[in-house]
């Protein structure tokens, strides 16, 4: 009996072991031979653009100045005073933008009708008595919105800036509240206004924010159309010349050119920069504030125009085939994620370009498969290109799978827990 019991116990143990062996073989085989493989290690590469730093156009150290490049809302360069300073007649540009935000007007359209009030006319009389710039109108006249903009921007008319603000917002106080909201919405936090004209020394802003405002103004079709005019015929046979035009032979298109005792000479402008051997131009938007005299302005603008042309270049920011990530498998195969296409930009490169790589996780893949993307931040905005695999990452085969149970089983377990 004892021997029979012992044989039964041994038989039971053999059966249990056999069951576990069968189960183990049943799981291990599929897990290793057809299950998932461990992901390849993705190593990001140190990468630089083919073109190096070129520098930026030269800005004056007197006063305050800044530039914004076409297609970008980022400031390209600044010089001089970094703090907010009086902005003079540049404030009329903000008035025009805020009014157009509330009362949109298409290019070529006369816009709304503005009836000159007694308060508007009294302001005109006051400006004349103070020798401030003013284009005549009288109470009861009707002007088109376009004519009001022409007088305020081309003729730098203070009374027309006030009248536009009252027409759109009911009062100067109503305009200032709207202007504060407009500026805050666009992150122009340095600008503070106390009137619609810029005559008060309390109208202040940084050159950086004024350069951004200049870019916004030229992006507004109604303003861009007006500023391209040499002058305009207005209501009642009156006319204005474009007082903001300055040094067009150097590529400048003025937006606002003014002088006050507090602000000095202020000039907001677009500059068309020719690109050597490319047969095209790139636009800079700029602000010069607190310039001391016109001789200094002339010299500073000549230097800016010449250095802008010599420092811009056609820059290949990403080149087809440029590697950004290396994939290495546990079984020793390697392949790289490379740029699928070339992207070039006309740029002033102020510092080495930096790349952000979004690399997908993979174990095996065919050559040419998309494996993520690369993004480079440039002064002209972000540029993104897809990455593709430059070589095949193949399956290692059954011998490697069976001989490397730990990474294979780990990948199998992780695939069931994801």
Q: What is the DSSP string of 65-95?
A: EEEEETT--SEEEEEE--S-EE-GGGHHHHH
* Predicted confidence (pLDDT) at residue 152 exceeds the cutoff of 90: yes
The predicted model gives 359-369 an average pLDDT of 94
Beta bridge partners of 339: 387
Cβ contacts of 61 within 8 Å, gap of 6 or more: 79, 80
CA 332 to chain CA centroid, nearest Å: 43
Q: Which residue has the tokens 């006369």?
A: 110
Closest CA to 176 of 197, 157, 158: 197
pLDDT in tens, 119-131: 999 999 999 999 9
User: In the chain, what are the helix, strand and coil shares in percent, each to the nearest 5?
Assistant: 40, 30, 35
Both tokens of residue 354? Answer: 């930096």
Give the model's pLDDT for residue 172: 98
pLDDT in tens, 48-80: 655 555 678 999 989 999 999 887 777 888 999
* Predicted confidence (pLDDT) at residue 386 exceeds the cutoff of 80: yes
CA distances from 34 to 12, 340, 403, 411 (A): 33, 32, 14, 12
Cβ contacts of 277 within 8 Å, gap of 6 or more: none
Q: 91-102 vs 207-219: helix axis angle to the nearest 10?
A: 40
- For residues 88 and 263, the answer to whether their CB atoms sit within 8 Å is yes
The DSSP result for 332-345, as a single string, is: S-EEEEEESS-EEE
What band does 381 get if pLDDT is binned at 50, 70 and 90?
A: confident
What band does 401 get if pLDDT is binned at 50, 70 and 90?
A: confident
pLDDT in tens, 73-108: 778 889 999 999 999 999 999 999 999 999 999 999
* Predicted confidence (pLDDT) at residue 145 exceeds the cutoff of 70: yes
Q: Is 349 exposed, middle or buried, given 0-12, 13-18 or 19+ CB atoms closer than 10 A?
A: buried
What band does 20 get if pLDDT is binned at 50, 70 and 90?
A: very low
What band does 414 get if pLDDT is binned at 50, 70 and 90?
A: confident
Closest CA to 387 of 47, 36, 37: 47
Give the model's pLDDT for residue 27: 57
- For residues 127 and 96, the answer to whether their CB atoms sit within 8 Å is no
* Predicted confidence (pLDDT) at residue 255 exceeds the cutoff of 90: yes
The predicted model gives 140-148 an average pLDDT of 97
- For residues 320 and 340, the answer to whether their CB atoms sit within 8 Å is yes
The predicted model gives 231-259 an average pLDDT of 95
Pairing of strands 85-86, 204-205: antiparallel
């Amino acid at each position: 009996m004892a021997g029979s019991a012992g044989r039964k116990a041994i038989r039971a143990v053999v059966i249990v072991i056999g069951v576990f062996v069968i189960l183990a073989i049943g799981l291990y085989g599929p897990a290793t031979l057809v299950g998932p493989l461990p992901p390849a290690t993705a190593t990001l590469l140190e990468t630089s653009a083919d073109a190096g730093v070129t520098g930026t156009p030269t800005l004056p150290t007197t006063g305050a100045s800044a530039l914004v490049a076409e297609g970008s809302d980022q400031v390209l360069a600044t010089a001089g005073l970094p703090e907010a300073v009086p902005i003079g007649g540049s404030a009329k540009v903000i008035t025009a933008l805020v009014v157009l935000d509330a009362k949109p007007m298409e290019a070529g359209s006369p816009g709304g009708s503005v009836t000159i009030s007694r308060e508007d006319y009294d302001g005109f009389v006051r400006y004349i008595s103070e020798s401030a710039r003013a284009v005549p109108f009288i109470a009861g006249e009707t002007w088109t919105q376009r004519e009001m903009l022409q007088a305020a921007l081309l003729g730098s008319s203070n009374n027309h800036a006030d009248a536009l603000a009252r027409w759109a917002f009911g009062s100067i106080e109503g305009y200032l509240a709207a202007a504060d909201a407009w500026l805050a919405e666009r992150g122009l936090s340095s600008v503070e206004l106390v009137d619609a004209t810029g005559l008060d020394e309390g109208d202040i802003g940084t050159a950086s924010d004024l350069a951004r405002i200049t870019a916004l103004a030229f992006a507004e079709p109604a303003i861009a159309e007006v500023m391209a005019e040499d002058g305009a015929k207005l209501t009642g046979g009156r006319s204005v010349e474009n007082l903001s035009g300055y040094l067009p032979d150097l590529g400048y298109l003025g937006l606002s050119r003014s002088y006050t005792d507090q602000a000095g000479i202020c000039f907001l402008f677009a500059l068309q920069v020719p690109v050597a051997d490319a047969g095209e131009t790139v636009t800079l938007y700029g602000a010069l504030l607190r310039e001391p005299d016109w001789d200094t302005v002339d010299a500073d603008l000549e230097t800016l125009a010449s250095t802008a042309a010599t420092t811009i270049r056609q820059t290949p920011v990403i080149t087809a085939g440029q590697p950004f990530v290396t994939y290495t498998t546990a079984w020793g195969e390697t392949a790289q994620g490379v740029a699928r296409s070339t992207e070039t930009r006309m740029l002033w490169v102020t510092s080495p370009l930096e790349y952000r790589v979004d690399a997908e996780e993979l174990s095996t893949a065919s050559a040419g498969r998309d494996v993520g993307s690369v993004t480079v931040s440039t002064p002209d905005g972000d540029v993104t290109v897809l990455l593709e695999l430059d070589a095949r990452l193949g399956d290692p085969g059954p011998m490697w799978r069976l001989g490397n149970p730990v990474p294979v089983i780990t990948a199998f377990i992780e695939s069931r827990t994801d």
